[in-house]
Structures are given as C-alpha cells and as structure tokens.
Amino acid sequence: MNDILPTETPTWQYIEQVTQQLVQSYGYREIRFPVLEQSQLFKRSIGEVTDIVEKEMYSFADRNGDELCLRPEGTAGCVRAAEQHGLLYNQQQRLWYRGPMFRHERPQKGRYRQFHQVGIESFGMAGPDIDAEIILISAALWRALGLSSSVRLEINNIGTAADRKAFGAALTQFLQQHEADLDEDSRRRLLSNPLRVLDSKAAATQALLVNAPSLSDFVSPETAAHYATLKQLLRDNDVAFVENPRLVRGLDYYNNMVFEWITDELGAQGTVCAGGRYDSLVAQLGGRGTPAVGLAFGMERLVLLLEASGKLPDSVNQVLDVTVLASDGVAPQQVLTLAEHLRTRLPGLRIMSHCGGGKFNSQLKKAYNSGARLAVIVDPLPETGDQTVRLRQLDDTGHSETITVAGLAEALKRALATP
C-alpha cells in the first residue's frame, strides 16, 4: 500500500479532533465495522459496471473459496453492520465512522491505494431537512478548519431509479448516434450503465454531452419538489451552491440528491467530500426499505488542502505543553514521579518527562527543542520546607519562577491559559 501514511501528523490529529467534536455536536454516534467484507456486498451496492468493482477492488478467495475484499468505501459496510446488529429496523439513526479503505488505482498526489475516510450516515428520515443537515455538517467542518473559501458545493437531482431508467434509454439512443466519438470506457458502458458516461473525464466525450438529453427533464414531480425544498434550506442557512446537471456520482446506489465539495487547489484530485441520498440500499442489502443519506470525505486530501491553505492554527504543530527535567544532583525517579503526579492532576495535558539522565544544560537544550511551552525543573530537595520547582518559559525570555510542588498544578493552568 502506501510507503508512508500521515496518520500521526499534527494536521491529521487536528482534523480528527475537530471532526469528532463536530459530529457529536450534531448527535451522531460512532459505528465500527470490519476492513474485510464479502465482495458481493459491493457488487450489489456499488454496481458491477463501476470503476471500483471493475478495476479497483482488492478481491481474493479465502481457503473456503469465499470471495472477500478489502473495503473500497464505507457506506455499504456501515449499512451491512447496522442492519446485522438491528440498528435500522423501525429506527432513526445518526452514525459516523472513520478508517482505512483500499482501491487498486495508480497512486498520485491525493490518491492512494490505502486511504482513510470519514463517513456520516443518517437512516430512517425521508425529508429534505436531513439532506440539508448532512450538507450543513460538511459546511460547518470547512468553517471550523478555515477552508470555506477553498471549496465550493455542487449539487444535482438524479431522480428515482425509474426516472434514471427513462433518462438512460434516451441518453443511450443519443449516444449510439455518436458512438465513434466516445472514449473507450464510455463505449463499453453505453449499454450497461449509460449514466456513467456523464462522469467521463474525456474532453471529447464531455463536449459531445453538451447536446445530450438532460436528466432534469426526466425527474418526477415528487423528486423535483424534494430537491427544491433542499435548495431553499441551503439558501436559508447561507450555504452557497452550484447546480451541476452532469453530477451523477460513481456509485449506483444513489438517488435523488447528490453533491460534491470541489477544490481547485489540489490539481486533478478536486473532490474532497461527496455524498447523497440512497433510499434503496438497505432493502437492496436484505433489510427493510429505509430512507438514508450520507457523505464521506478523504482524510489525505483534507490534510493536503489544509496544509496548502496556510490556515493551520499555530497550536497544531505544538505536540507538547510541558517537559519535566532535573537539576544536577536530582535523582531521575523524582522527575518521573512528578510528571505522573501532574498527569493525574491535569488530565489531557501533554507532558514529557526527561529520561536517560545527562547534565542539566543538555536537558534544557532538549527541552527547548521539544516544542513544549513550559519546563518544570526539579531542584534538589531542601533540608527544611516544601519541595520547590522552577517553572520556566521555553521562549526567548527564559523567564522562570520558583513555586512549591503543591501549587504547581494551578500555576501550570494559569501559565498555559495565557497565549
């Protein structure tokens, strides 16, 4: 897979922290499911005439002859797990997940064979209000990360399965008249999945589609009304969008509303988040008919976008708050014990204790290089009175003050509360 995965970088951890706080604030709870699934799950859900199933899935037969694969996306696995554990029957659920996905495609910037997604899925709600909520969550994420000006929202109404069948027949008839001008993939899909031709990246094919039938002319009045209400909800909440009639998404389970968040700052890999409604998927996978809508975004692309934007808070690259070290003549175990005491008193504080001994000046140099804001210097135990330490600012001033161990926790809270 990838040689290096940036899962432990400060930027990655910052995005995870912001995302988790955000989805929880909207009432979503985390669900987990296996990396390994039956290949048939994705053939039934994504569609056999898709790039993922045709070219990209890592599939293999196990010793019992069962065909398995590494999950290429999260929605189908989430539905399978939720249905298997009885979370969807006559219930409304708001779920989210995160983890690695796998696709066998040519690695390039922003596209990897092992990549990580965060998915947010809602079940049991049929109205456009939940569609709007899913998009609002993504818009709130861009605001929290300072990326609102780096992305734009594109939406489309792809109608019901019956709507798309009627449109597909008209589109096929049109494309057959120009078959010689289509790219190879589009010719292959012409009869099996004509809507996927709309997603072609070939410039000649896209030029040809300018005169093709429009999907909007085939959607039912009910679907159109749902979509119109969604657009008004987005306007009411100040979410700007562009309608893209060629947006169909690359997965067969979508219906009605689909959307993508696009950036121009990552070259060819412009989609950073995408989703839509998929009301038939639960029944398609063996459950009871359940309306559903969701989204997913790729962590790797978001890391690249955030770092390219220059919008990272200064605190992101600071992985330590405090380092604890010893004056000459102080036993190493005193440093270790004091650091543990502070971690107990101040949970969540990032504290590193110096280990391995060494002269004080050497320890202090390492403290400055650690990126911590403060150093706690353990001095020799006085013959009388309370144990004292020095609290030193690890900046150009090098300001320090002597305080008792009993008052250290409060002193640290005050010092770290000051920018």
Q: Tens digits of per-residue pLDDT, 221-255? A: 999 999 999 999 999 999 999 999 888 876 678 89
Give the range among 40-54, 109-123, 404-418 with minimum mean pLDDT: 40-54
Structural domain includes residue 360: yes
Is 28 in the same domain as 132?
A: yes
Q: How confident is the model at residue 3 (pLDDT cuts 50, 70, 90)?
A: very low
Most confident of 5-19, 125-139, 195-209: 125-139
Helix ranges (H only) for 146-253 are: 161-176, 184-189, 203-209, 221-236
Whether residue 73 is annotated as binding a ligand: the answer is yes
Q: What percent of the chain has pLDDT over 90?
A: 53
> Could you tell me where the beta strands, DSSP code E, fall in 306-350?
322-326
Q: Tens digits of per-residue pLDDT, 363-415? A: 999 999 888 999 999 988 777 777 889 999 998 899 999 999 989 999 999 98
Give me the amino acid identity at 5. L
Q: Quote the mean pLDDT of the chain.
A: 88
Spatial distance between the Cα atoms of 240 and 404, rounded to a whole number of angstroms: 56
Whether residue 74 is annotated as binding a ligand: the answer is yes
| Predicted pLDDT at 1 | 41
Structural domain includes residue 304: yes
| Predicted pLDDT at 250 | 65
Q: How confident is the model at residue 6 (pLDDT cuts 50, 70, 90)?
A: low
| Predicted pLDDT at 214 | 85
Whether residue 121 is annotated as binding a ligand: the answer is yes
CATH number of residue 409's parent domain: 3.40.50.800
Looking at per-residue pLDDT, the higher value among 56 and 279 belongs to: 279
Whether residue 249 is annotated as binding a ligand: the answer is yes
Structural domain includes residue 96: yes
Spatial distance between the Cα atoms of 133 and 181, rounded to a whole number of angstroms: 41
Instruction: Report the number of distinct structural domains present in the chain.
Output: 2
Give me the amino acid identity at 255. N
| Predicted pLDDT at 20 | 95
Domain boundary pick from 309, 335, 361: 309
Say if residue 322 is exposed, middle or buried (CB neighbours under 10 Å; 0-12, 13-18, 19+): buried
Is 60 in the same domain as 152?
A: yes
Is 302 in the same domain as 324?
A: no
Is 227 in the same domain as 295?
A: yes
| Predicted pLDDT at 329 | 85
Whether residue 253 is annotated as binding a ligand: the answer is yes
Is 387 in the same domain as 405?
A: yes
Whether residue 103 is annotated as binding a ligand: the answer is yes
| Predicted pLDDT at 28 | 97
Q: Cβ(360)–Cβ(326) under 8 Å? A: yes
Domain boundary pick from 287, 309, 331: 309
Whether residue 63 is annotated as binding a ligand: the answer is no
Is 33 in the same domain as 89?
A: yes
Structural domain includes residue 200: no
Looking at per-residue pLDDT, the higher value among 384 and 285 belongs to: 285
Structural domain includes residue 284: yes
Structural domain includes residue 169: no
pLDDT, mean of residues 88-99: 95
Q: Tens digits of per-residue pLDDT, 65-93? A: 999 999 999 999 999 999 999 999 889 99
Q: What range does the domain containing 118 cover? A: 10-160+219-309
